[in-house]
Amino acid sequence: MKVIEKANRILDPFLPRQHQLTLGFLLCNLAVLGIYAGLTDEAASDVYTPDPVVDTPGTPDEVPGFSALPETEFAVTELFDDQQTDDDFHARASGIDLQQITVKSGDNLSLIFDRAGFGPAEVYALTSSATDTDVLTRLYPGYELLFESDSNNSLLSVQVVESALVSHLFTRSPDQKYQYERVTRTPETRQVIRDATITDSLFLAAQRSEIPAGITMEAAGIFGGVIDFILDVRSGDTFRILYEEKYLDGEFIDNGRILAAQFTNQGVTHTALRYTNARGESNFYNPEGESMRKAFLLNPVDFTRISSGFSLSRKHPILNTIRAHKGTDYAAPRGTPVVATADGRVTTAGRNGSFGNLVVIKHNDRFETKYAHLNSYARGIQNGARVRQGQVIGYVGSTGSATGPHLHYEFLMDGVHRNSRTIHQSLPKAESVAATELATFHDQISPLLAQIDTHTPTNQIAFVGPPAAQE
């Protein structure tokens, strides 16, 4: 009966009384059979002796069969909750309760605490005593909150899981105040190279070679100052990308940085290599140390066609009069992202007559660009905002005097409208590697250049060793 009583105490938190008695009875029978087997070992061996799964040495004073009880406990808990872990089992056995709450759209800390069974007093105790509580006021959908409480439902800790790599732990101390700790994990970083050959479009070729869309977009941005991916790309062009993948506990979690990229366009090969300068700034350069960035990108949008080019004698499609068209119209689906073609400061972001929704960006004292007929603005785009080259500033629309969704883009130099598509090549490049850093530059890029130049073309993934020591 002691066996049954002990089993009942263990199973009490998990099973109804009737089920406990049944399982206890079965365990008792197993124990009796074990005793019988021990007393009649010689006779039993003539019938059947199963191979032992675990060799559990004991003494004659121990109750035969009882050493298997911990395994029986785990099997019973697994039967009713196949998601339960060893930690969960031991936490429950010690009176600790663990809850996981997923942040939903519209949630705040009070709503989440209420779902977890804690009231406003606990919210106040946490937010008033802990330091670094900013994360508690900026909870995003998808975040996980882990609540740990004792058998009296007193909160012991709260953990905000931001990602697989970052979480924020608030632990209650004996003085009832909360201590904050940022918990970070470092993933394993692997370098991979993938190749693709274009037969239709850059993005379809990348998709066939299993190159992630984000990596493809970044690569297009890297070469955006030297290749027009809409007009210049031809069937048979090839590209190769060396980039990082991040793994945690052996499982892929995210893509990392592009380290090097190569694009062969109409027989001309362009190579871009990541270099981090003495100031800690990372950019892409060709093997000679010249910046891959032009002062301005060729195109501010991923367009389907140029519906109207720069002209001083174009017939206006709505007014039916001859009027100068001092920009380029890029036809694109409504909602297509529009990016800033260079670093600068927003001087206008608002409704402007026939331009509709307009963004104007000033680039130092000489250059200015305009983006008209936008459907809407990107978050943070307002007068005075600083923007970076390639940053999304709005989305294609047909506001103002427009016959259909498109982007009207204007380029001004020294206050005069210029054709952005012809003046582009005569504009200066971004800053190249300083002469004093060229030796360091060549030392840093040499391994990357060797990897990307000597790689055998294939559409399959190729692991190429440990990550480069760059930021």
Query: What's the CATH fold of domain 305-426?
Result: Glucose Permease (Domain IIA) (2.70.70)
Average pLDDT on 159-178 reads: 93
Which secondary structure element, helix H or strand E, spans residue 149, and what is its range?
Answer: strand 144-149
387 within 8 A of 346, measured Cβ to Cβ: yes
131 vs 90, more confident:
131
Interval 198-223: pLDDT, tens: 998 888 999 999 999 999 989 988 88
Give the neighbor-by-neighbor strand order of the sheet with 251-265. 282-285, 268-276, 251-265, 238-248, 188-197, 462-463
pLDDT at 338 over 80: yes
Domain with CATH 3.10.450.350 in the chain: 97-184, 188-293+431-463
Distance CA 350, CA 385 (A): 13
For the ranges 43-57, 211-225, 245-259, 407-421, the one whose mean pLDDT is highest: 245-259
| Cβ–Cβ < 8 Å for 202, 216 | yes
Q: 426: pLDDT confidence band, cut at 50, 70 and 90?
A: confident
Domain with residues 97-184, CATH architecture: Roll (3.10)
65: pLDDT strictly greater than 50? no
Lowest-confidence range among 29-33, 64-68, 186-190?
64-68
Assigned token pair, 432 = 């190249």
- Which CATH number applies to 188-293+431-463? 3.10.450.350
Q: Is the pLDDT of residue 311 over 50?
A: yes
- pLDDT bracket for residue 57 (50, 70, 90): very low
- pLDDT tops 80 at residue 450: yes
Element (H, E) at 219: helix 213-222
Residues of the chain with CATH 2.70.70.10: 305-426
Return the higher-pLDDT residue of 221 and 56: 221
Of the candidates 154, 438, 408, 400, the residue with the CA atom closest to the CA atom of residue 287: 438
262, 239 Cβ separation under 8 angstroms: yes
Mean pLDDT of 396-418: 92
| Listed range (55-59, 108-112, 355-359) with the worst mean pLDDT | 55-59
The secondary structure of 355-422 as a DSSP string is: G-EEEEEEETTTEEEEEEEEEEEPTT--TT-EE-TT-EEEEEB--SS-SSSEEEEEEEETTEEE-HHH
Q: Please provide the average confidence, as pLDDT, over all residues in the chain.
A: 79
- Nearest to 227, CA basis, from 260, 269, 197: 269
pLDDT at 254 over 80: yes
Check pLDDT > 80 for residue 461: no
- Chain-centre distance for alpha carbon 81: 31
Burial class from Cβ neighbours inside 10 Å (0-12, 13-18, 19+) for residue 10 reads middle
Residue 53 has pLDDT above 70, yes or no: no
Q: Which pLDDT value is given to residue 427?
A: 77
Q: What is the pLDDT of residue 454?
A: 85
Distance in angstroms (rounded) separating the CA atoms of residues 222 and 22? 69
Contact 244, 448 (CB under 8 A): no
DSSP state of 426: G
Give pLDDT, residue 156. Answer: 94
